[in-house]
Amino acid sequence: MLIAIGLTTAVVVGVPVVLFAMDTIGRTLGTEAADAFAKVVYNQTALVDEGHISQSAVEVDVPADVVVSAHASELTISFMQEETVVASWSETYIHDIELVSPHGPGVYHLTIEIVEDVLEIAFIAVT
């Protein structure tokens, strides 16, 4: 009888703890992937925006649950889970931004160039 109570208690307490740990690990891995993605996008964008290079074309892997948005000269990359922003990174540039954002996770060609004083950033899906 005591063994049954002990096992029941271990399961009742242990299962939620394990599920919480798995959720935390998943969130951490997702945040790290989103952060690495954001660094690549921001570094390439800064090179073009500041005139170090005339254009950039790189292949990037957009992680799941990442949203890329722009308003005026600010570019924001957010990592979301269950419609909640878990982490968000923003950078402001010299030029206003025109953005064609990724429509989901996957591999994209990221192109960045200045056209008529506007920083054009486009994610084009690799098929």
Work out the mean pLDDT of the chain and round it to a whole number.
Answer: 86
Q: Name the strand (E) or helix (H) holding 94.
A: none
- Indicate the pairing of strand 118-125 with strand 96-100: parallel
Give the pLDDT confidence of 76-93 residue by residue, as tens digits. Answer: 999 998 888 989 999 999
| Alpha-carbon gap, residue 25 to 81, rounded angstroms | 13
Q: In the predicted model, is pLDDT for residue 12 greater than 70? A: no
Q: Who's near 36: CB < 8 A, 6+ residues apart?
A: none
Q: Who's near 124: CB < 8 A, 6+ residues apart?
A: 100, 108, 109, 111
Which pLDDT belongs to residue 2?
A: 52
Between 97 and 12, the higher pLDDT residue:
97
Judge whether 122 and 55 are in contact, CB under 8 Å.
no
Give the pLDDT confidence of 25-74 residue by residue, as tens digits. Answer: 455 557 899 999 999 999 999 999 999 999 999 999 999 999 999 999 99
pTM of the predicted model, to two decimals? 0.78
Q: In Å, how far from its chain's centre is CA 8? A: 40
Between 82 and 114, the higher pLDDT residue:
114
